[in-house]
Amino acid sequence: MTKLFQDATLTEIEDAMQRAYAAFLIYRRTTAKQKASFIRAVADEIEALGEPLIEVAMRETHLLAARLTGERGRTCFQLRNIADVVAEGSWVEATIDTALPERLPLPKPDIRNMLVPIGPVVVFGASNFPFAYSTAGVDPAAAWGAGCPVVVKAHPAHPETSEMVAAAVKKAIAKTGMPEGLFEHIHGANFEIGKALVLHPKTAAVGFTGSFAGGKALFDLAAQRPVPIPVFAEMGSTNPVFLLPDVLEKEAEKYAKMYAGSITGGMGQFCTKPGLLIGIESQGLDTFISVLATEIRAILPAPMLHSGIAKAFRTKRADVLGQQTVVVEAETSQHYGEEEGIPSVASVTAAQFVANPALHQEVFGPFSLLIKCKDAAEMQEVIGHLEGQLTCTVVGTEKDLAQAAELLFSVSLICGRLILNGVPTGVEVGAAMQHGGPFPASTDGRFGSVGPHAMKRFVRPLAFQNFPMPLLPDELKDGNPLGIWRMVNGNWEK
Protein backbone atom coordinates (compact mmCIF):
# COMPACT_ATOMS: atom_id res chain seq x y z
CA MET A 1 0.00 0.00 0.00
CA THR A 2 1.35 3.41 -0.91
CA LYS A 3 2.08 6.09 1.65
CA LEU A 4 -0.99 7.96 0.43
CA PHE A 5 -3.24 5.17 1.67
CA GLN A 6 -1.96 4.18 5.10
CA ASP A 7 -3.87 1.77 7.34
CA ALA A 8 -6.40 3.62 9.47
CA THR A 9 -5.57 4.00 13.14
CA LEU A 10 -7.90 2.84 15.90
CA THR A 11 -8.61 6.49 16.67
CA GLU A 12 -9.60 7.13 13.04
CA ILE A 13 -11.88 4.08 13.10
CA GLU A 14 -13.48 5.27 16.35
CA ASP A 15 -14.10 8.72 14.88
CA ALA A 16 -15.54 7.29 11.66
CA MET A 17 -17.95 5.00 13.51
CA GLN A 18 -19.13 7.80 15.78
CA ARG A 19 -19.75 10.07 12.77
CA ALA A 20 -21.63 7.25 11.06
CA TYR A 21 -23.87 6.71 14.07
CA ALA A 22 -24.57 10.43 14.37
CA ALA A 23 -25.53 10.42 10.69
CA PHE A 24 -27.79 7.42 11.26
CA LEU A 25 -29.88 9.35 13.77
CA ILE A 26 -30.54 11.97 11.08
CA TYR A 27 -30.66 9.91 7.88
CA ARG A 28 -33.12 7.32 9.19
CA ARG A 29 -35.66 10.16 9.54
CA THR A 30 -35.24 11.57 6.04
CA THR A 31 -37.99 10.88 3.54
CA ALA A 32 -37.85 8.14 0.95
CA LYS A 33 -37.61 10.72 -1.82
CA GLN A 34 -34.65 12.41 -0.11
CA LYS A 35 -32.84 9.09 0.20
CA ALA A 36 -33.57 8.31 -3.44
CA SER A 37 -32.24 11.70 -4.56
CA PHE A 38 -28.98 11.09 -2.71
CA ILE A 39 -28.51 7.60 -4.17
CA ARG A 40 -29.17 8.90 -7.70
CA ALA A 41 -26.66 11.68 -7.08
CA VAL A 42 -24.03 9.06 -6.21
CA ALA A 43 -24.58 7.43 -9.62
CA ASP A 44 -24.35 10.82 -11.33
CA GLU A 45 -21.07 11.69 -9.61
CA ILE A 46 -19.50 8.32 -10.44
CA GLU A 47 -20.36 8.83 -14.10
CA ALA A 48 -18.93 12.34 -13.92
CA LEU A 49 -15.51 10.88 -13.05
CA GLY A 50 -15.31 9.82 -16.70
CA GLU A 51 -12.40 8.02 -18.30
CA PRO A 52 -9.82 8.82 -15.60
CA LEU A 53 -11.67 6.43 -13.27
CA ILE A 54 -11.50 3.64 -15.87
CA GLU A 55 -7.80 4.31 -16.48
CA VAL A 56 -6.94 4.09 -12.78
CA ALA A 57 -8.98 0.92 -12.33
CA MET A 58 -7.26 -0.67 -15.35
CA ARG A 59 -3.86 0.04 -13.85
CA GLU A 60 -4.79 -1.34 -10.43
CA THR A 61 -6.75 -4.45 -11.48
CA HIS A 62 -5.41 -5.49 -14.93
CA LEU A 63 -9.02 -5.55 -16.14
CA LEU A 64 -9.79 -4.28 -19.64
CA ALA A 65 -11.49 -0.97 -20.34
CA ALA A 66 -14.58 -2.59 -21.86
CA ARG A 67 -15.12 -4.78 -18.80
CA LEU A 68 -14.66 -1.87 -16.40
CA THR A 69 -16.90 0.45 -18.41
CA GLY A 70 -19.63 -2.17 -18.37
CA GLU A 71 -19.17 -2.71 -14.65
CA ARG A 72 -19.41 1.01 -13.95
CA GLY A 73 -22.66 1.10 -15.93
CA ARG A 74 -24.00 -1.84 -13.95
CA THR A 75 -23.04 -0.12 -10.70
CA CYS A 76 -24.87 3.09 -11.60
CA PHE A 77 -27.89 1.10 -12.80
CA GLN A 78 -28.01 -0.73 -9.47
CA LEU A 79 -27.87 2.55 -7.56
CA ARG A 80 -30.72 4.02 -9.61
CA ASN A 81 -32.74 0.82 -9.43
CA ILE A 82 -32.61 0.88 -5.64
CA ALA A 83 -33.38 4.62 -5.65
CA ASP A 84 -36.52 3.96 -7.71
CA VAL A 85 -37.71 1.25 -5.32
CA VAL A 86 -37.00 3.43 -2.28
CA ALA A 87 -38.87 6.38 -3.79
CA GLU A 88 -41.92 4.24 -4.58
CA GLY A 89 -41.92 3.06 -0.96
CA SER A 90 -43.78 -0.25 -0.87
CA TRP A 91 -40.62 -2.25 -0.09
CA VAL A 92 -40.98 -1.43 3.64
CA GLU A 93 -43.77 -4.04 3.88
CA ALA A 94 -46.20 -1.87 5.80
CA THR A 95 -48.72 -4.09 7.58
CA ILE A 96 -51.78 -2.90 9.48
CA ASP A 97 -54.13 -4.84 11.74
CA THR A 98 -56.79 -2.43 12.94
CA ALA A 99 -58.32 -2.58 16.41
CA LEU A 100 -61.44 -4.51 17.37
CA PRO A 101 -62.28 -2.97 20.76
CA GLU A 102 -65.52 -4.97 21.05
CA ARG A 103 -63.88 -8.36 20.50
CA LEU A 104 -64.50 -10.91 23.25
CA PRO A 105 -63.09 -12.19 25.49
CA LEU A 106 -60.28 -9.65 24.92
CA PRO A 107 -60.26 -6.49 22.78
CA LYS A 108 -57.89 -6.53 19.80
CA PRO A 109 -55.37 -3.65 19.80
CA ASP A 110 -54.37 -1.60 16.77
CA ILE A 111 -50.95 -2.92 15.56
CA ARG A 112 -48.96 -1.54 12.63
CA ASN A 113 -45.64 -2.85 11.42
CA MET A 114 -42.93 -1.85 8.91
CA LEU A 115 -39.24 -2.40 8.18
CA VAL A 116 -36.87 0.14 9.74
CA PRO A 117 -33.07 0.61 9.37
CA ILE A 118 -30.70 -0.98 11.89
CA GLY A 119 -27.70 1.37 11.96
CA PRO A 120 -24.22 1.82 10.47
CA VAL A 121 -23.18 -0.92 8.04
CA VAL A 122 -19.52 -1.85 7.54
CA VAL A 123 -18.78 -2.90 3.95
CA PHE A 124 -15.63 -4.68 2.80
CA GLY A 125 -14.77 -3.89 -0.81
CA ALA A 126 -14.27 -6.89 -3.10
CA SER A 127 -11.11 -7.50 -5.10
CA ASN A 128 -12.72 -8.79 -8.30
CA PHE A 129 -15.31 -6.04 -8.84
CA PRO A 130 -13.73 -2.63 -8.13
CA PHE A 131 -17.04 -0.84 -8.80
CA ALA A 132 -20.01 -3.22 -8.52
CA TYR A 133 -19.05 -4.86 -5.22
CA SER A 134 -16.88 -2.18 -3.70
CA THR A 135 -16.97 1.43 -2.54
CA ALA A 136 -20.39 2.40 -3.93
CA GLY A 137 -21.48 -1.04 -5.09
CA VAL A 138 -24.30 -3.35 -4.17
CA ASP A 139 -23.80 -3.35 -0.39
CA PRO A 140 -23.51 0.43 0.08
CA ALA A 141 -26.43 1.00 -2.30
CA ALA A 142 -28.63 -1.41 -0.35
CA ALA A 143 -27.60 0.07 3.00
CA TRP A 144 -28.32 3.65 1.90
CA GLY A 145 -31.66 2.53 0.49
CA ALA A 146 -32.51 0.87 3.78
CA GLY A 147 -31.71 4.07 5.67
CA CYS A 148 -28.26 3.13 7.01
CA PRO A 149 -24.91 4.95 6.85
CA VAL A 150 -21.99 3.03 5.36
CA VAL A 151 -18.40 2.63 6.50
CA VAL A 152 -16.36 1.15 3.63
CA LYS A 153 -13.04 -0.58 4.07
CA ALA A 154 -11.40 -0.16 0.67
CA HIS A 155 -9.84 -3.25 -0.84
CA PRO A 156 -6.05 -2.85 -0.79
CA ALA A 157 -5.81 -4.20 -4.36
CA HIS A 158 -7.41 -1.05 -5.80
CA PRO A 159 -7.13 1.75 -3.22
CA GLU A 160 -6.87 4.63 -5.69
CA THR A 161 -9.99 3.49 -7.56
CA SER A 162 -11.81 3.28 -4.24
CA GLU A 163 -10.58 6.73 -3.25
CA MET A 164 -11.91 8.26 -6.48
CA VAL A 165 -15.34 6.67 -5.99
CA ALA A 166 -15.33 7.76 -2.34
CA ALA A 167 -14.78 11.35 -3.44
CA ALA A 168 -17.79 11.05 -5.77
CA VAL A 169 -19.97 9.81 -2.91
CA LYS A 170 -18.89 12.71 -0.72
CA LYS A 171 -19.79 15.14 -3.49
CA ALA A 172 -23.25 13.59 -3.67
CA ILE A 173 -23.63 13.97 0.09
CA ALA A 174 -22.74 17.67 -0.10
CA LYS A 175 -24.99 18.36 -3.08
CA THR A 176 -28.05 16.71 -1.51
CA GLY A 177 -27.54 18.06 2.00
CA MET A 178 -27.11 14.68 3.64
CA PRO A 179 -25.25 14.25 6.96
CA GLU A 180 -21.50 14.01 6.45
CA GLY A 181 -21.06 10.68 8.26
CA LEU A 182 -23.45 8.95 5.87
CA PHE A 183 -20.32 7.62 4.16
CA GLU A 184 -16.97 6.92 5.79
CA HIS A 185 -13.97 5.54 3.91
CA ILE A 186 -11.23 3.50 5.58
CA HIS A 187 -8.02 2.02 4.13
CA GLY A 188 -6.44 -1.03 5.68
CA ALA A 189 -4.51 -4.08 4.48
CA ASN A 190 -4.12 -5.39 8.03
CA PHE A 191 -6.79 -7.81 9.31
CA GLU A 192 -6.82 -5.87 12.57
CA ILE A 193 -8.51 -2.98 10.74
CA GLY A 194 -11.38 -5.21 9.66
CA LYS A 195 -11.56 -6.73 13.12
CA ALA A 196 -11.85 -3.33 14.78
CA LEU A 197 -14.65 -2.33 12.40
CA VAL A 198 -16.64 -5.50 13.01
CA LEU A 199 -16.22 -5.35 16.78
CA HIS A 200 -17.06 -1.66 17.13
CA PRO A 201 -20.22 -1.28 19.25
CA LYS A 202 -21.84 1.11 16.75
CA THR A 203 -21.55 -1.37 13.86
CA ALA A 204 -24.99 -2.86 13.17
CA ALA A 205 -24.21 -5.21 10.26
CA VAL A 206 -21.46 -6.23 7.85
CA GLY A 207 -21.47 -6.74 4.08
CA PHE A 208 -18.64 -8.79 2.52
CA THR A 209 -17.81 -10.34 -0.84
CA GLY A 210 -14.69 -12.47 -1.04
CA SER A 211 -13.10 -15.71 0.11
CA PHE A 212 -14.59 -18.28 2.44
CA ALA A 213 -11.72 -17.80 4.90
CA GLY A 214 -12.25 -14.03 5.03
CA GLY A 215 -16.03 -14.15 5.28
CA LYS A 216 -16.07 -16.89 7.93
CA ALA A 217 -13.50 -15.03 10.04
CA LEU A 218 -15.69 -11.90 10.04
CA PHE A 219 -18.80 -13.97 10.77
CA ASP A 220 -17.11 -15.62 13.76
CA LEU A 221 -15.94 -12.26 15.09
CA ALA A 222 -19.44 -10.80 14.86
CA ALA A 223 -20.93 -13.79 16.67
CA GLN A 224 -18.48 -13.35 19.57
CA ARG A 225 -19.41 -9.72 20.23
CA PRO A 226 -21.27 -8.90 23.48
CA VAL A 227 -24.09 -7.89 21.11
CA PRO A 228 -23.83 -10.19 18.05
CA ILE A 229 -24.57 -8.66 14.66
CA PRO A 230 -25.35 -10.18 11.25
CA VAL A 231 -22.59 -10.65 8.67
CA PHE A 232 -23.87 -11.00 5.12
CA ALA A 233 -20.89 -12.61 3.43
CA GLU A 234 -20.94 -13.94 -0.13
CA MET A 235 -18.01 -16.34 -0.16
CA GLY A 236 -17.89 -18.00 -3.57
CA SER A 237 -19.03 -21.29 -5.02
CA THR A 238 -18.07 -24.12 -7.39
CA ASN A 239 -21.33 -23.54 -9.34
CA PRO A 240 -21.85 -27.12 -10.59
CA VAL A 241 -23.20 -27.73 -14.09
CA PHE A 242 -25.12 -30.95 -14.82
CA LEU A 243 -24.83 -32.04 -18.45
CA LEU A 244 -27.62 -34.49 -19.32
CA PRO A 245 -27.18 -37.28 -21.90
CA ASP A 246 -29.51 -36.32 -24.74
CA VAL A 247 -28.22 -32.76 -24.98
CA LEU A 248 -24.63 -34.02 -25.16
CA GLU A 249 -25.58 -36.43 -27.92
CA LYS A 250 -27.12 -33.58 -29.95
CA GLU A 251 -25.33 -30.35 -28.95
CA ALA A 252 -22.03 -31.26 -27.26
CA GLU A 253 -19.98 -28.90 -29.42
CA LYS A 254 -22.27 -25.91 -28.82
CA TYR A 255 -22.17 -26.25 -25.04
CA ALA A 256 -18.46 -27.06 -24.91
CA LYS A 257 -17.69 -23.76 -26.64
CA MET A 258 -20.17 -21.91 -24.43
CA TYR A 259 -18.59 -23.28 -21.25
CA ALA A 260 -15.02 -22.67 -22.39
CA GLY A 261 -15.95 -18.99 -22.47
CA SER A 262 -17.75 -19.08 -19.14
CA ILE A 263 -14.87 -20.86 -17.36
CA THR A 264 -12.21 -18.46 -18.61
CA GLY A 265 -14.11 -15.16 -19.00
CA GLY A 266 -12.36 -12.51 -16.91
CA MET A 267 -9.69 -15.17 -16.22
CA GLY A 268 -12.28 -17.09 -14.22
CA GLN A 269 -12.41 -14.40 -11.54
CA PHE A 270 -16.18 -14.41 -11.08
CA CYS A 271 -17.81 -15.96 -8.03
CA THR A 272 -20.27 -17.63 -10.42
CA LYS A 273 -17.64 -19.27 -12.64
CA PRO A 274 -18.61 -22.92 -13.41
CA GLY A 275 -16.01 -24.83 -11.41
CA LEU A 276 -17.58 -28.30 -11.72
CA LEU A 277 -18.94 -29.94 -14.88
CA ILE A 278 -20.83 -33.18 -14.24
CA GLY A 279 -21.87 -35.60 -16.98
CA ILE A 280 -22.63 -39.28 -17.62
CA GLU A 281 -20.05 -41.28 -19.56
CA SER A 282 -21.03 -41.48 -23.23
CA GLN A 283 -19.85 -40.62 -26.71
CA GLY A 284 -21.56 -37.25 -26.25
CA LEU A 285 -19.52 -36.54 -23.11
CA ASP A 286 -16.33 -37.55 -24.93
CA THR A 287 -17.18 -35.08 -27.70
CA PHE A 288 -17.88 -32.37 -25.14
CA ILE A 289 -14.51 -32.96 -23.47
CA SER A 290 -12.66 -33.00 -26.78
CA VAL A 291 -14.16 -29.72 -28.00
CA LEU A 292 -13.78 -28.08 -24.58
CA ALA A 293 -10.10 -29.10 -24.49
CA THR A 294 -9.50 -27.65 -27.94
CA GLU A 295 -11.12 -24.36 -26.92
CA ILE A 296 -9.18 -24.15 -23.64
CA ARG A 297 -5.84 -24.69 -25.35
CA ALA A 298 -6.52 -21.72 -27.63
CA ILE A 299 -7.40 -19.26 -24.86
CA LEU A 300 -4.74 -16.68 -24.08
CA PRO A 301 -3.56 -16.28 -20.48
CA ALA A 302 -3.97 -12.85 -18.92
CA PRO A 303 -2.87 -11.15 -15.69
CA MET A 304 -5.06 -11.88 -12.70
CA LEU A 305 -6.41 -9.12 -10.49
CA HIS A 306 -3.39 -9.02 -8.21
CA SER A 307 -0.45 -11.15 -7.10
CA GLY A 308 -2.30 -12.59 -4.10
CA ILE A 309 -5.11 -13.98 -6.25
CA ALA A 310 -2.62 -15.32 -8.80
CA LYS A 311 -0.66 -17.10 -6.08
CA ALA A 312 -3.81 -18.57 -4.51
CA PHE A 313 -5.02 -19.78 -7.91
CA ARG A 314 -1.77 -21.57 -8.66
CA THR A 315 -1.66 -23.15 -5.20
CA LYS A 316 -5.23 -24.44 -5.30
CA ARG A 317 -4.95 -25.58 -8.91
CA ALA A 318 -1.79 -27.49 -8.03
CA ASP A 319 -3.54 -29.06 -5.05
CA VAL A 320 -6.28 -30.43 -7.31
CA LEU A 321 -3.95 -31.56 -10.08
CA GLY A 322 -1.69 -33.18 -7.50
CA GLN A 323 -4.39 -35.67 -6.52
CA GLN A 324 -3.46 -39.05 -8.01
CA THR A 325 -6.88 -39.64 -9.56
CA VAL A 326 -7.10 -36.34 -11.44
CA VAL A 327 -6.40 -36.24 -15.19
CA VAL A 328 -5.45 -32.99 -16.95
CA GLU A 329 -7.65 -32.71 -20.04
CA ALA A 330 -6.20 -29.46 -21.36
CA GLU A 331 -4.45 -26.24 -20.48
CA THR A 332 -3.60 -23.19 -22.54
CA SER A 333 -0.99 -23.83 -25.20
CA GLN A 334 0.28 -20.27 -24.81
CA HIS A 335 3.15 -19.17 -22.60
CA TYR A 336 1.99 -17.72 -19.29
CA GLY A 337 3.68 -15.50 -16.73
CA GLU A 338 3.83 -15.85 -12.97
CA GLU A 339 0.88 -13.55 -12.30
CA GLU A 340 -1.28 -14.81 -15.17
CA GLY A 341 -4.15 -17.26 -15.03
CA ILE A 342 -3.68 -20.67 -16.64
CA PRO A 343 -6.85 -21.67 -18.55
CA SER A 344 -7.22 -25.37 -17.81
CA VAL A 345 -9.65 -28.27 -17.36
CA ALA A 346 -9.15 -31.58 -15.56
CA SER A 347 -11.34 -34.63 -14.98
CA VAL A 348 -12.04 -37.26 -12.36
CA THR A 349 -14.54 -40.10 -11.93
CA ALA A 350 -17.59 -39.56 -9.75
CA ALA A 351 -16.45 -42.23 -7.29
CA GLN A 352 -13.08 -40.51 -6.91
CA PHE A 353 -14.73 -37.10 -6.47
CA VAL A 354 -17.12 -38.37 -3.81
CA ALA A 355 -14.28 -40.02 -1.88
CA ASN A 356 -11.99 -36.97 -1.92
CA PRO A 357 -13.20 -33.75 -0.23
CA ALA A 358 -10.04 -31.97 -1.45
CA LEU A 359 -11.68 -31.89 -4.89
CA HIS A 360 -14.83 -30.16 -3.65
CA GLN A 361 -13.29 -26.72 -3.00
CA GLU A 362 -13.46 -23.67 -5.24
CA VAL A 363 -10.42 -22.87 -7.39
CA PHE A 364 -10.84 -19.16 -8.06
CA GLY A 365 -9.57 -18.62 -11.58
CA PRO A 366 -9.78 -20.13 -15.10
CA PHE A 367 -10.03 -23.78 -14.05
CA SER A 368 -12.83 -26.33 -14.01
CA LEU A 369 -13.05 -29.98 -12.94
CA LEU A 370 -15.15 -32.38 -14.99
CA ILE A 371 -16.78 -35.29 -13.11
CA LYS A 372 -17.55 -38.45 -15.07
CA CYS A 373 -20.54 -40.42 -13.75
CA LYS A 374 -21.40 -44.00 -14.71
CA ASP A 375 -25.15 -43.35 -14.62
CA ALA A 376 -27.91 -41.08 -13.30
CA ALA A 377 -27.72 -42.67 -9.86
CA GLU A 378 -24.05 -41.75 -9.55
CA MET A 379 -24.82 -38.20 -10.66
CA GLN A 380 -27.39 -38.05 -7.88
CA GLU A 381 -24.74 -39.30 -5.44
CA VAL A 382 -22.43 -36.45 -6.47
CA ILE A 383 -25.18 -33.94 -5.65
CA GLY A 384 -25.40 -35.42 -2.17
CA HIS A 385 -21.74 -34.53 -1.58
CA LEU A 386 -21.95 -30.90 -2.74
CA GLU A 387 -22.12 -27.98 -0.32
CA GLY A 388 -24.30 -24.89 -0.65
CA GLN A 389 -23.84 -23.05 -3.95
CA LEU A 390 -24.59 -19.64 -5.43
CA THR A 391 -25.79 -21.35 -8.61
CA CYS A 392 -26.52 -24.75 -10.07
CA THR A 393 -27.06 -25.25 -13.81
CA VAL A 394 -28.84 -28.07 -15.63
CA VAL A 395 -28.27 -28.47 -19.37
CA GLY A 396 -30.71 -30.74 -21.18
CA THR A 397 -33.25 -31.25 -23.95
CA GLU A 398 -36.98 -31.66 -23.37
CA LYS A 399 -36.37 -35.41 -23.34
CA ASP A 400 -33.68 -35.02 -20.67
CA LEU A 401 -35.79 -32.71 -18.54
CA ALA A 402 -38.82 -35.00 -18.68
CA GLN A 403 -36.74 -37.51 -16.72
CA ALA A 404 -34.92 -35.02 -14.49
CA ALA A 405 -37.53 -34.09 -11.88
CA GLU A 406 -35.59 -35.68 -9.03
CA LEU A 407 -32.31 -34.10 -10.12
CA LEU A 408 -33.89 -30.64 -10.40
CA PHE A 409 -35.41 -30.99 -6.95
CA SER A 410 -32.11 -32.15 -5.43
CA VAL A 411 -30.05 -29.31 -6.87
CA SER A 412 -32.68 -26.74 -5.88
CA LEU A 413 -31.95 -27.64 -2.25
CA ILE A 414 -28.32 -26.54 -2.45
CA CYS A 415 -28.35 -23.33 -4.51
CA GLY A 416 -29.65 -19.78 -4.59
CA ARG A 417 -30.15 -19.65 -8.37
CA LEU A 418 -31.10 -22.61 -10.57
CA ILE A 419 -30.25 -22.11 -14.26
CA LEU A 420 -31.50 -24.06 -17.27
CA ASN A 421 -29.49 -24.32 -20.50
CA GLY A 422 -27.31 -21.30 -19.84
CA VAL A 423 -24.16 -20.31 -17.99
CA PRO A 424 -23.95 -19.05 -14.40
CA THR A 425 -21.61 -16.15 -15.18
CA GLY A 426 -23.44 -12.87 -15.64
CA VAL A 427 -25.60 -11.74 -12.71
CA GLU A 428 -28.57 -9.69 -13.90
CA VAL A 429 -29.46 -6.73 -11.68
CA GLY A 430 -33.15 -6.96 -10.88
CA ALA A 431 -35.72 -7.65 -8.20
CA ALA A 432 -36.02 -11.36 -9.04
CA MET A 433 -32.27 -12.07 -8.93
CA GLN A 434 -30.94 -14.13 -6.03
CA HIS A 435 -27.20 -13.71 -5.57
CA GLY A 436 -26.55 -15.74 -2.48
CA GLY A 437 -27.04 -19.34 -1.47
CA PRO A 438 -26.94 -21.87 1.35
CA PHE A 439 -23.79 -21.96 3.47
CA PRO A 440 -20.90 -21.89 2.61
CA ALA A 441 -21.83 -19.94 -0.55
CA SER A 442 -23.03 -17.22 1.80
CA THR A 443 -23.53 -16.85 5.54
CA ASP A 444 -27.29 -16.38 5.20
CA GLY A 445 -28.95 -17.99 2.21
CA ARG A 446 -32.24 -16.17 2.89
CA PHE A 447 -30.80 -13.00 1.39
CA GLY A 448 -28.93 -11.91 -1.73
CA SER A 449 -26.63 -8.98 -2.43
CA VAL A 450 -28.05 -7.92 -5.82
CA GLY A 451 -31.24 -5.99 -6.55
CA PRO A 452 -33.60 -4.08 -4.27
CA HIS A 453 -34.32 -7.06 -1.99
CA ALA A 454 -30.71 -6.69 -0.80
CA MET A 455 -31.97 -3.82 1.38
CA LYS A 456 -33.75 -6.33 3.61
CA ARG A 457 -30.39 -7.37 5.07
CA PHE A 458 -30.09 -4.01 6.80
CA VAL A 459 -33.56 -3.54 8.30
CA ARG A 460 -35.69 -5.02 11.06
CA PRO A 461 -39.46 -5.07 11.61
CA LEU A 462 -40.86 -2.62 14.15
CA ALA A 463 -44.45 -2.84 15.40
CA PHE A 464 -46.41 0.19 16.70
CA GLN A 465 -49.29 -0.68 19.02
CA ASN A 466 -52.17 1.70 19.82
CA PHE A 467 -50.35 4.76 18.40
CA PRO A 468 -52.25 7.96 17.59
CA MET A 469 -52.07 8.90 13.90
CA PRO A 470 -49.78 11.96 14.29
CA LEU A 471 -47.06 9.83 15.91
CA LEU A 472 -47.04 7.10 13.26
CA PRO A 473 -44.70 7.06 10.26
CA ASP A 474 -46.48 8.15 7.07
CA GLU A 475 -46.16 4.58 5.77
CA LEU A 476 -48.56 3.39 8.48
CA LYS A 477 -51.07 6.25 8.75
CA ASP A 478 -54.73 5.91 7.85
CA GLY A 479 -55.50 7.12 4.37
CA ASN A 480 -52.13 5.85 3.05
CA PRO A 481 -50.64 9.33 2.42
CA LEU A 482 -47.66 7.86 0.49
CA GLY A 483 -49.86 5.74 -1.78
CA ILE A 484 -47.81 2.56 -1.23
CA TRP A 485 -48.91 -1.07 -1.25
CA ARG A 486 -49.82 -2.20 2.28
CA MET A 487 -51.36 -5.27 3.87
CA VAL A 488 -54.43 -4.11 5.79
CA ASN A 489 -56.30 -6.69 7.85
CA GLY A 490 -54.86 -9.48 5.70
CA ASN A 491 -55.52 -7.88 2.29
CA TRP A 492 -53.04 -6.08 0.02
CA GLU A 493 -54.27 -2.66 -0.99
CA LYS A 494 -53.04 0.66 -2.27
Q: List residues bridging with 183 in a β-sheet.
A: 150
C-beta separation of 221 from 197 below 8 A: no
Measure the CA–CA gap between 287 and 243, rounded to whole angstroms: 12
Q: How far apart are CA 225 and CA 228, in angstroms?
A: 5
Q: Which is it for strands 95-97 and 486-488: parallel, antiparallel or unpaired? A: parallel
Using DSSP bridges, classify how beta strands 111-117 and 459-465 pair: parallel, antiparallel or unpaired. antiparallel
Q: Which residues are known to be catalytic? A: 234, 271
**359 CB burial (10 A radius; 0-12, 13-18, 19+):** buried
What strands, in cross-sheet order, belong to the sheet with 389-395? 327-331, 344-349, 367-373, 276-280, 241-243, 389-395, 415-420
How many Å apart are CA 317 and CA 305, to the nearest integer?
Answer: 17
Distance CA 124, CA 298 (A): 36
Q: Partners of 367 in the beta sheet?
A: 344
Through-space distance between the first and last CA atoms of the chain, rounded to whole angstroms: 53
On whether the CB atoms of residues 165 and 131 are closer than 8 A, the answer is yes
Tell me how far apart the alpha carbons of residues 79 and 87 are, in angstroms, rounded to a whole number: 12
* C-beta of residue 61 within 8 angstroms of C-beta of residue 306: yes
Sheet strands (E) in 228-387: 231-234, 241-243, 276-280, 327-331, 344-349, 367-373
The dihedral built from the CA positions of residue 314, 319, 323 and 325, taken in this order, carries a sign that is negative
Collapsed DSSP state (helix, strand, coil) of residue 305: coil
The helix or strand, by DSSP H or E, that contains position 465, with its residue range, turns out to be strand 459-465
CA dist 29 and 145 (Å) reads 12
Question: How far is Cα 306 from Cα 269, in angstroms, rounded to an integer?
Answer: 11
Question: From the centroid of its chain, how far is CA 461?
Answer: 23
Helices 32-48 and 65-88: crossing angle, nearest 10°? 170
